[in-house]
Amino acid sequence: MPVAVGGRGGAGAGGGSGGREWLTMVGGKRVLAIVHTLTYLKRIVEVLDLLEGDFRIQVLCTTPPHVFGTEVPRFLHRLGLPVVPWESAKRMTFDLALAAGPGGVSEISAPLVALSHGAAYLKRITEAGPAEYGVAGLRRRDVMPDGRTLPAALVLPHRAELRELARTCPEALPVARVIGDPVYDRITDNLPLRANYRRALGVSAGQELVTVVSTWGRHSSFGRIDALLPRLTTELRGDHYRTAILVHPNVWSGHGHWQMRSWLAEARRRGVALIPPGDDWRPWLIASDHIIGDHGSVTVYGTLTNAPILLASSPREEINPASPAATLARTAPELSPVRPLAEQLSYAASDYRRSDYAAIAARLTSHPGGFARGMRRLLYELLGIPRLAHEPAPAPLPPPSPPGGSAGVWEESA
C-alpha cells in the first residue's frame, strides 16, 4: 500500500514535493517504522500505539529486504499502516525511526530508536564464523550495523543487559536506555482475564489446555515436532485435554503457510489447534494450563503465568548463559521420549514452585509496568515536542478467536 508522503529532506513516494499536495494534515513530525519481519512488526506496534491520538505525528512504514519478510506486507495492509517503498525511504529524511532489527537501518536518515524484539536477549550465536559470535542483538554488528553509527537510543528491557553491552560495544552505553518490556506488562496486566480467554477458546471447566510453543531454527521444539505430534494426538485425546501449537512466525515465513498446514493437517483433524502467525498469542499463553516449549521468548514469557513448563528442547549452545532462558533450562523439567505425556505433565505440575518461575520472570524487566510511560517519554524527547497530557493506556488484549472459528473443533479430539 504505497502512499504519497513527499516533503522536506527528499522525494516522497509520489515524487518530489508533489506528493505533499495530496496530504490533508501537513507540517507534523514523521515517524518511520522499519519493519523487517512479522515478529519485529508486533513489537513495533506496541510502541506506535503510544502515539495514538497525536495529530502532530504521521506514522509511516517501510520494509527492508529480509529472508523472513514475506509476511510483512500483508499484515501492514491488514493494519492499515501506510507504506513507503524501501528505495524511496532511503532517499527521504524522517524525524524519528523505529526498528527491532539491524538490517539496513544505517541507510535511513533519522534518529533511530533500536528495540529488542523478544524476551531479553536469549540467544547466542556460535555456529557462524568467529566474527559473528556473541549474544544476538547485543553484538557490535547488531548495535552499529555500519560499524560507525550509533542509534539515538538503544532500548533495553533490563539493566543486566548493560554488562554484555559494556563488553561488546561500550561506546553504546551512553545511548542505552533501560525502559522495560511491553510484552511483560501486557501479559501481567491481562492475567485477570484468564477465565474470559478460556471461555472464548471453548475450554470448559475441568479441562486442561496444553500449548506447545516453539521458536525457529533446527534446535527449536518445532524442529522435532514430528516426534511430539503423535503423542499429542493419541496420549492427550479425550475430554480432559485441549491442545494447541504456537510456532514462531519465521517458521511460517521460511516454510510457507501451505507447508505448515500440510505438515499439521492430520493433527488438526484430530483436534489440535494451530495458532496462525498473525494472531495475538498472549491470550493463549494466559489461558494455558501447561506449556511445552523451548528456549524461545514465548516459553520464557510463560513464566509470567501459573502454567508449569515442560521443555521439549533446550540447546545449551544456543542459550545466552546470562539470560532468563538459561535459568529456565536449569529449572523446568525436560520432556522424556519414553514416559507417558500425561504423566509428565502431572509431574511438572506437582514439581512446580511459583517462586522459582517468578524469579525468572523478574529477569525480563527492570521496570515492571513501566514500559509505556518510559517509552513514550523517550519518543517525545527525541521528537522534540511535549507529550500529550495523559497516561498512556494500552487497550486490553482482545479475546482469542476459537480454533477453526468455533469451539466445536475441539470435539474432534474426543
Q: Which residues contact 126 (CB under 8 A, 6 or more apart)?
A: 133, 317, 318
Q: Is pLDDT of 131 > 70?
A: no
Q: Is pLDDT of 11 > 60?
A: no
pLDDT, tens digit, for every residue of 316-358? 888 999 999 999 999 999 999 999 999 999 999 999 999 999 9
Beta bridge partners of 244: 211, 273
Q: Which residues contact 366 (CB under 8 A, 6 or more apart)?
A: 157, 158, 159, 160, 178, 180
Q: Which residues contact 369 (CB under 8 A, 6 or more apart)?
A: 180, 185, 188, 189
Contact between 66 and 130 (Cβ < 8 Å): no
Query: Phi and psi at residue 331, in whole multiples of 5°?
Result: -105, -50
Place of cell 561500550: 170
Q: How many helices (H) and strands (E) does the chain have?
A: 17, 13
Q: Name the class of domain 184-364.
A: alpha beta
Indicate the length of the chain as a whole number. 414
Longest dimension (CA), the chain: 69
Helix axis angle, 38-48 relative to 182-190, nearest 10°?
70
Pull the grid cell for residue 248. Answer: 514462531
Distances (CA, A) of 379 to 30, 31, 80, 173, 265: 12, 10, 22, 18, 45
Beta bridge partners of 124: 135
Contact between 220 and 187 (Cβ < 8 Å): no
Provide the residue type at 100 as one letter: A
Q: What pLDDT is recorded for position 17? A: 40
Helix axis angle, 371-383 relative to 182-190, nearest 10°?
140
Instruction: State how far the Cα of 289 lies from the Cα of 305, in Å rounded to an integer.
Output: 9
> Please, which pLDDT band fits residue 2 given cuts at 50, 70 and 90?
low
Q: Is pLDDT of 406 > 80?
A: no
Q: What pLDDT is recorded for position 4? A: 53
Q: Is pLDDT of 16 > 90?
A: no
Instruction: State how far the Cα of 350 lies from the Cα of 34, in Å rounded to an integer.
Output: 45
Q: What pLDDT is recorded for position 69? A: 94
Q: Which residues contact 330 (CB under 8 A, 6 or more apart)?
A: none
Q: What pLDDT is recorded for position 335? A: 95
Q: Is the pTM of this model over 0.75?
A: yes
Provide the residue type at 177 as one letter: R
Q: Is pLDDT of 244 > 50?
A: yes
Strands ordered across the beta sheet of 29-34: 57-62, 29-34, 96-99, 112-114, 153-156, 176-178
Angle (CA) 66-98-127 rounded to 5° is: 40
Identical fold between 16-181+367-383 and 184-364: yes
Distances (CA, A) of 23 to 26, 31, 151: 7, 16, 30
Closest CA to 304 of 349, 359, 350, 372: 359
Q: Is pLDDT of 408 > 50?
A: no
Q: Where are the domains of the chain?
A: 16-181+367-383, 184-364
Closest CA to 99 of 53, 158, 31, 148: 31
Q: Which residues contact 113 (CB under 8 A, 6 or more apart)?
A: 47, 96, 97, 98, 99, 151, 152, 153, 155, 378, 379, 382
Instruction: State how far the Cα of 320 lies from the Cα of 312, in Å rounded to an integer.
Output: 18
The matching CATH number, chosen from 3.30.2450, 3.30.70, 1.10.357, 3.40.50, for 16-181+367-383 is 3.40.50
Q: Is pLDDT of 206 > 50?
A: yes
